[in-house]
């Protein structure tokens, strides 16, 4: 069964950690041996790190977006940010990588290309604040992947099916769980960090201007890292979702199904349908 409750139970029964349990279950289902899964996850982290480096070293531009990461960097260097240095650094990385994606950069879809800045922002934002051994980060990425697998199975990871809650929302939930793991939280806390995040992005629509993965996608990457971080802190503080995590994911699925087509990646509703959004689209053609 694809269920967070089962992963948590299995951790308790076997004494394995959350990422070990995710890895074992994935190996069982995919038929791949755990060594090669681990190797590929390791190479995904390498590719992710490379996307961060490439994104920050240039000044990537999309058709509409560009320059936000540099602004965030300058602000972070000159101020004590309200939302904390971790959140601002994670946001800077997320903005950079997701802008790099818009510029045809080479990224890791995690879980999708539109949300590809969120996990790098949270993982490498963490890594710069609290130096962690590389294996820990691979394990954290595995935790994130395990959460994503359950969301994929019980709901969806496609904006065209479930709205942006399924892309940027899911990425933030995956990242929240990864952060709880990195901070030594229990399997239960890991699963609740995801649930707390999903409850806050429930119903988030997919409404890209001109149908391009740029507006509002890049800024959602830059802000949802902070939502994920605060949900990780809530879970680490002992706060639990009153509704069990699996039920929260199921609710996200039915909300996704009730979104009209105009709010599922067609670029015809929400932000895309504002007068300015329509003007931008027309200027592009």
Query: Based on CB atoms, which residue is closest to another protein, 47 or 233?
Result: 47
For residue 265, count other CB atoms closer than 10 A to its CB: 23
| 8 Å CB contact between 115 and 170 | yes
Cβ 70 to another protein shortest distance, Å: 19
What is the end-to-end Cα distance of the chain in Å, rounded?
47
From ligand SF4, another protein, none, interface partner of 246 (C-beta below 5 to 8 A by class): none
Q: At what angle do helices 168-182 and 134-154 cross, to 10 degrees?
A: 140
| Residue list 100-159, contact with ligand SF4 (CB under 6 A) | 114-115, 159
Beta bridge partners, 264, equal: 206
- Check residue 162 for interaction with another protein (CB under 8 A): no
Distance between CA atoms of residues 269 and 76, nearest Å:
34
Query: Based on CB atoms, which residue is closest to another protein, 105 or 228?
Result: 105
Count how many Cα atoms sit within 13 Å of the Cα of residue 114 in the half-sphere of its side chain.
Answer: 25
Query: Based on CB atoms, which residue is closest to another protein, 148 or 236?
Result: 148
Judged by CB under 6 A, which of 52, 182, 265, 277 binds ligand SF4?
Answer: 265
Element (H, E) at 284: helix 275-284
Size of the residue set binding ligand SF4 (CB under 6 A): 13
| 8 Å CB contact between 10 and 16 | yes
Cβ 88 to ligand SF4 shortest distance, Å: 21
Region of 51-59, 79-87, 134-142, 201-209 interacting with ligand SF4 (CB under 6 A) = 201-209
Q: Which residues bind ligand SF4 (CB under 6 A)?
A: 114-115, 159, 164, 167-168, 206-208, 213, 217, 220, 265
């Amino acid at each position: 069964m694809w269920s967070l409750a089962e992963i948590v139970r299995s951790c308790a029964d076997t004494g394995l950690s959350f990422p070990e349990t995710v890895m074992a279950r994935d190996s069982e289902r995919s038929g791949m041996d755990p060594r090669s899964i681990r190797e590929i996850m390791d190479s995904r982290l390498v590719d992710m790190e490379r996307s961060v480096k490439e994104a920050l070293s240039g000044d990537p531009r999309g058709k509409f977006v560009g320059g936000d990461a540099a602004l965030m960097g300058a602000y972070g260097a000159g101020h004590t940010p309200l939302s904390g240095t971790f959140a601002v650094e994670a946001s800077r990385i997320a903005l950079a990588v997701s802008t790099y994606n818009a510029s045809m950069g080479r990224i890791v879809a995690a879980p999708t290309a539109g949300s590809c800045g969120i996990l790098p922002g949270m993982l490498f934002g963490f890594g710069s604040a609290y130096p962690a051994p590389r294996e820990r980060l691979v394990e954290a990425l595995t935790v994130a992947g395990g959460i994503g697998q359950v969301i994929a199975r019980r709901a969806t990871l496609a904006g065209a099916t479930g709205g942006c809650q399924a892309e940027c929302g899911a990425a933030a939930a995956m990242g929240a769980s990864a952060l709880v793991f990195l901070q030594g939280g229990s399997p239960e806390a890991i699963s609740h960090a995801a649930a707390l995040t999903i409850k806050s992005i429930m119903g988030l629509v997919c409404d890209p201007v001109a149908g391009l993965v740029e507006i509002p996608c890049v800024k959602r990457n830059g802000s949802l890292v902070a939502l994920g971080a605060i949900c990780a802190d809530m879970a680490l503080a002992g706060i639990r979702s009153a509704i069990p995590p699996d039920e929260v994911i199921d609710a996200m699925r039915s909300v996704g199904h009730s979104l009209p087509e105009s709010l599922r990646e067609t670029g015809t509703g929400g932000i895309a349908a504002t007068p300015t959004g329509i003007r931008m689209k027309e200027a592009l053609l």
